[in-house]
């Protein structure tokens, strides 16, 4: 069953494009990563899912119900977290949580909020105006989860949380997912998506580039080797690096070599020469993006 | 109820300040009534004031012979002016304040419809405005009994009720503006602005016969308080006009807000 379904979803802000013709569906039980750089249209899409804005054209369905008209009761099934998480400054965290619980027809005692507060080491008795961004984010998490929703729609949930808290948060998301909660979240951090998601969509400049299962994401099995040889200068030709990666780059004394599979062969070749520094990592989001983007462009050209 | 309580909580400080100022002025003016009313010299001096001031501030010496007259001229003017400003400010800020504070994404992703939020705000503000109206009326009557003589409590009630209707009309205009404004600060300026413009138009209209038509654009002119002092009932058409503006403004505001984008 599709929990979220977008058909040619388009939103313009006057002359500015928010998103254009986005087609995407999220099934029950998915942890779906929505990934893209600043200004890609992530928040624009999420605001339409939360009925904060309405599409210019195209449509969205949640749990099979179209959102062309307001459906406030549907929001009882949805937990959300906005990217900037602002709350009424003069109220305490607890007052905000009580207010939210009441809006769902619950009392705070009926919700798992105290358990979560302990988990995230969150002091709910302070006023919102004294909160740091991280604390506001924690309040946002509690506020978004207290009614035990079936679907979570989160806009950059981890920005502002320290690594430890990010980890606790991911753990919680995983647990919830095991209990059947569907999760849709946006981010520009690839590692978050890798850790958590079973499906991922890439968006850039308002257009959906690709949707795939995590295991099929092109480039996920690639590794980038950054190496500085003791002997100075561009050694791409001399050391035969082009045989490993014909597009190997050299900037400011560092060689960048991308390998797909056969990592040991590449390393054997490299370590024949004296090295001052080496690191091996997964391609950055930027690099993956560029690959996707270049590919799409050249596909377009060849047609 | 949850939303109404929230709005009252958000307006609490402004309500205490606004209510405090209005009640203070009412008590002050109410307790001074006899001092002015019995002071022939002072009234003569007032008669020499420019027409615009007399019209604007309600120094109608012809009715300054009773506590009711004093109420219609003095207390009434300050009360409408001040409560009008606060009520219009609240109305103008109803929707825009969440945009300004960034709390709109939180508020509108709760399981409340837009109209539920909107009308809860309207209801909460109506409650606060009505509370100040009733307290002002009670304090005026109390001052009348303590420091002067009251001939007709009914007349005083009608005078205050007329002011209350005018204040509601200002709120109605505020609800139209609230979806169009971009910050809470501009909402405050707009709220005070519409009341001041109305007040000044009425004042200018009093300057000269040739510009007396200006008063038709002023809500301050809608009720004839001098007639109320002479025992007339509240004008039905004036009540209908002010309440009409309130209801129409509220409805138009709701219509504009219903599908408005919540964006940063
Ligand atoms: N209120 C608005 N008015 C005009 N243009 C807007 C508005 N909101 C967003 N946009 C434009 O729509 C595009 C998508 O913005 P959006 O906020 O959805 O990006 P995002 O992917 O969430 O980025 P970020 O990572 O910075 O949060 C951007 O080009 C932005 O300039
Ligand atoms: Mg965003």
Residue A280 has phi, psi (to 5 degrees) of: -125, 125
Same domain assignment for residues A24 and A148: yes
Task: Write out the two tokens for A61.
Answer: 């369905």
Per-residue pLDDT at B247: 98
Confidence band, pLDDT 50/70/90 cuts, at residue A16: very high
Handedness of CA B222, B225, B226, B228 (dihedral sign): positive
Q: Which domain holds residue A190?
A: 2-217
Same domain assignment for residues A226 and A199: no
Confidence band, pLDDT 50/70/90 cuts, at residue A298: low
CA A39 to centroid of ligand 2, rounded, Å: 7
Kindly report the CATH number assigned to the domain that includes residue A139.
3.40.50.300
For residue B146, the SS3 value is helix
Residue B260 has phi, psi (to 5 degrees) of: -70, 145
Same domain assignment for residues A133 and A182: yes
Q: pLDDT: is B227 or A75 the higher one?
A: A75
Instruction: Report if residue A137 sits inside a domain.
Output: yes
Per-residue pLDDT at A59: 94
Residue B147 forms contact with A (CB below 8 Å): no
Which residues 6+ apart lie within 8 Å of A167 measured at CB?
A: none
Instruction: Report if residue A293 sits inside a domain.
Output: no
Same domain assignment for residues A151 and A102: yes
Q: Taking residues A43-50, what's their average pLDDT? A: 95
Instruction: Report if residue A300 sits inside a domain.
Output: no
Residue B255 forms contact with A (CB below 8 Å): no
Q: How many Å is the Cα radius of gyration of chain B?
A: 19
Instruction: Report if residue A267 sits inside a domain.
Output: yes
Residue A177 in this model has a pLDDT that exceeds 90: yes
Residue A86 forms contact with B (CB below 8 Å): yes
Residue A293 in this model has a pLDDT that exceeds 70: no
Residue nearest (by alpha carbon) to ligand 1 atom 12: A18
Whether A251 lines ligand 1, by a CB cut-off of 6 Å, is no
Q: What angle do CA B229, B234, B235 make, to 5 degrees?
A: 115
Residue B263 forms contact with A (CB below 8 Å): yes
Whether A75 lines ligand 1, by a CB cut-off of 6 Å, is no
Of residues B102, B112, B261, nearest to A72 (C-beta)? B112
Per-residue pLDDT at B37: 78
Per-residue buried b or exposed e for A130-150, using 16+ beta carbons within 10 Å of the residue's own CB: ebeeebbbbbbbbbbbbbbbb
Specify the number of domains making up chain A.
2
Which residue among A39, A192, A289 is best mutated to probe the pocket of ligand 1, counting the most ligand atoms within 8 A of its Cβ? Answer: A39
Which of A217, A236, A271 terminates a domain? The answer is A217
Cα B64 to Cα A245, B118, B163, B180: the distances in Å are 99, 43, 19, 43
Instruction: Report if residue A203 sits inside a domain.
Output: yes
Tens digit of pLDDT at every position of chain B (264 positions): 899 999 999 999 999 999 999 999 999 999 988 887 777 777 777 778 887 777 777 777 777 788 988 898 889 999 999 999 999 999 999 999 999 999 999 999 999 999 999 999 999 999 999 999 999 999 999 999 999 888 899 999 999 999 999 999 999 999 999 989 989 999 999 999 999 999 888 888 777 777 777 777 788 888 888 888 888 888 899 999 999 999 999 999 999 999 888 887
Same domain assignment for residues A211 and A237: no
CA A10 to centroid of ligand 2, rounded, Å: 16
Q: Report pLDDT digits (tens) over A238-285.
A: 888 888 888 888 988 899 988 887 888 888 888 889 999 999 988 765
Q: Which residues of A touch B184 (CB under 8 A)?
A: none
Confidence band, pLDDT 50/70/90 cuts, at residue A211: confident
Same domain assignment for residues A156 and A28: yes
- Secondary structure (H, E, C), chain A: CEEEEEEEEEEEECCEEEEEEEEEEEECCCEEEEECCCCCCHHHHHHHHCCCCCCCEEEEEECCEECCCCCHHHHHHEEEECCCCCCCCCCEHHHHHHHHHHHCCCCHHHCCHHHHHHHCCCCCCCEHHHCCHHHHHHHHHHHHHCCCCCEEEEECCCCCCCHHHHHHHHHHHHHHHHCCCEEEEEECCHHHHHHHCCEEEEEECCEEEEEEEHHHCCCCCEEEEEEEECCCCCCCCCCCHHHCCCCCEEECCEEEEEEECCHHHHHHHHCCCCEEEEEEECCCHHHHHHHHHHHHHHHHHHC
Residue A302 in this model has a pLDDT that exceeds 50: no
Residue A290 in this model has a pLDDT that exceeds 70: no
Instruction: Report if residue A181 sits inside a domain.
Output: yes
Residue A194 in this model has a pLDDT that exceeds 90: no
Dist. CA B69–CA B46, nearest whole Å: 15
Chain B residue with CA closest to A72: the answer is B111
Of residues B2, B10, B114, nearest to A88 (C-beta)? B10
Residue A87 forms contact with B (CB below 8 Å): yes
Dist. CA A289–CA A296, nearest whole Å: 11
Whether B263 lines ligand 1, by a CB cut-off of 6 Å, is yes
Task: Write out the two tokens for B124.
Answer: 């909460």
Residue with tokens 């740091």: A132
Side-chain-facing half-sphere of A283: CA atoms under 13 Å:
18
Handedness of CA B116, B118, B119, B120 (dihedral sign): positive
Confidence band, pLDDT 50/70/90 cuts, at residue A297: low
Per-residue pLDDT at A78: 96
Residue A303 in this model has a pLDDT that exceeds 60: no
Q: Report pLDDT digits (tens) over A145-166.
A: 999 999 999 999 988 889 999 9
Share of chain A above pLDDT 70, in %: 92
Per-residue pLDDT at A192: 80
ipTM of the complex model: 0.88
Nearest to A200 by CA among A178, A210, A152, A38: A210
Residue B154 has phi, psi (to 5 degrees) of: -60, -45
Please tell me the distance in Å from A222's CA to the nearest CA on chain B: 38
Kindly report the CATH number assigned to the domain that includes residue A252.
3.30.70.260
Q: Taking residues A87-115, what's their average pLDDT? A: 95
- Domain residue ranges of chain B, discontinuous segments joined by +: 3-258
Helical residues (DSSP H) of chain B, grouped into ranges: 2-37, 40-47, 51-57, 67-70, 76-93, 96-101, 104-108, 114-147, 153-178, 184-205, 225-229, 236-258
Q: Which residues of A touch B10 (CB under 8 A)?
A: 88, 90
10 Å CB burial of residue B238 (0-12, 13-18, 19+) is middle
Instruction: Report if residue A296 sits inside a domain.
Output: no
Dist. CA B131–CA A20, nearest whole Å: 51
Task: Write out the two tokens for B33.
Answer: 């009534």
Dist. CA B23–CA B108, nearest whole Å: 36
Whether A18 lines ligand 1, by a CB cut-off of 6 Å, is yes
Nearest to A201 by CA among A33, A9, A4: A33
Instruction: Report if residue A89 sits inside a domain.
Output: yes
Task: Report the 10 Å Cβ neighbour count for A164.
Answer: 10
Same domain assignment for residues A47 and A94: yes
Please tell me the distance in Å from B119's CA to the nearest CA on chain A: 15
Whether A43 lines ligand 1, by a CB cut-off of 6 Å, is yes
Which residue among A6, A15, A17, A40 is best mutated to probe the pocket of ligand 1, counting the most ligand atoms within 8 A of its Cβ? Answer: A40
Residue A123 in this model has a pLDDT that exceeds 70: yes
Dist. CA B74–CA B66, nearest whole Å: 12
């Amino acid at each position: 069953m599709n929990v979220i379904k977008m058909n040619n979803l388009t939103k313009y802000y006057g002359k500015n494009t928010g998103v254009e013709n986005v087609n995407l569906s999220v099934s029950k039980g998915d942890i779906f990563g929505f990934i893209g750089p600043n200004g890609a249209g992530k928040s624009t899409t999420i605001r339409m899912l939360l009925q904060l804005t309405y599409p210019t054209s195209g449509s969205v369905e949640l749990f099979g119900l179209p959102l062309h008209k307001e459906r406030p009761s549907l929001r009882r099934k949805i937990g959300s977290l906005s990217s900037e998480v602002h709350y009424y400054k003069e109220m305490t965290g607890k007052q905000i949580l009580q207010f939210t619980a009441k809006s769902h027809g619950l009392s705070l005692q009926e919700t798992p909020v105290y358990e979560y507060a302990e988990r995230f080491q969150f002091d709910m008795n302070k006023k919102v105006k004294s909160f740091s961004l991280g604390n506001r984010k924690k309040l946002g998490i509690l506020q978004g989860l207290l009614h035990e929703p079936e679907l979570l729609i989160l806009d950059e949930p981890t920005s502002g949380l320290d690594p430890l808290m990010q980890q606790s948060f991911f753990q919680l998301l995983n647990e919830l997912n095991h209990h059947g909660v569907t999760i849709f979240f946006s981010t520009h951090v690839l590692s978050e998506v890798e850790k958590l998601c079973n499906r991922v969509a890439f968006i850039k400049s308002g257009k959906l580039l690709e949707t795939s299962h995590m295991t099929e994401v092109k480039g996920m099995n690639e590794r980038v080797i950054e190496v500085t040889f003791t002997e100075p200068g561009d050694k791409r030709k001399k050391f035969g690096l082009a045989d490993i990666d014909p597009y190997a780059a050299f900037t400011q004394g560092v060689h960048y070599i991308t390998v797909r599979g056969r990592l040991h062969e590449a390393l054997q070749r490299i370590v024949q020469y004296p090295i001052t520094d080496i690191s091996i990592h997964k391609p950055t989001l930027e690099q993956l993006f560029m690959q996707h983007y270049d590919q799409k462009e050249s596909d377009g050209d060849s047609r | 109820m949850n939303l109404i309580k929230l709005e009252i909580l958000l307006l609490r400080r402004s309500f205490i300040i606004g209510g405090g100022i209005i009640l203070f002025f009412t008590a002050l003016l109410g307790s001074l009534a006899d001092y002015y009313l019995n002071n022939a010299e002072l009234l003569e001096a007032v008669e020499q004031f420019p027409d615009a001031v007399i019209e604007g501030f309600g120094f109608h010496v012809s009715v300054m012979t009773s506590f009711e007259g004093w109420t219609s001229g003095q207390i009434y003017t300050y009360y409408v002016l001040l409560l009008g400003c606060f009520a219009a400010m609240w109305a103008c800020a109803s929707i825009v304040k969440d945009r300004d504070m960034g709390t709109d994404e939180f508020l509108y992703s709760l399981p409340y419809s837009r109209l539920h939020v909107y009308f809860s705000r309207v209801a909460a503000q109506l409650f606060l405005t009505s509370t100040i109206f009733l307290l002002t009326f009670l304090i005026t009557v109390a001052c009348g009994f303590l420091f002067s003589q009251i001939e007709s409590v009914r007349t005083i009630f009608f005078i205050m009720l007329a002011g209350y209707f005018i204040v509601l009309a200002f709120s109605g205009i505020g609800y139209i503006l609230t979806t169009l404004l971009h910050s809470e600060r501009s909402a405050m300026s707009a709220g005070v602005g519409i009341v001041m413009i109305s007040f000044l138009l009425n004042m200018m209209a009093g300057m000269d016969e040739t510009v007396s038509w200006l008063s038709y654009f002023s809500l301050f002119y809608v009720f004839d308080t001098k007639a109320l002092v002479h025992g007339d009932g509240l004008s039905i058409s004036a009540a209908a006009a002010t309440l009409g503006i309130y209801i129409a403004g509220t409805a138009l505001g709701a219509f504009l807000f219903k599908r408005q984008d919540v964006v940063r």
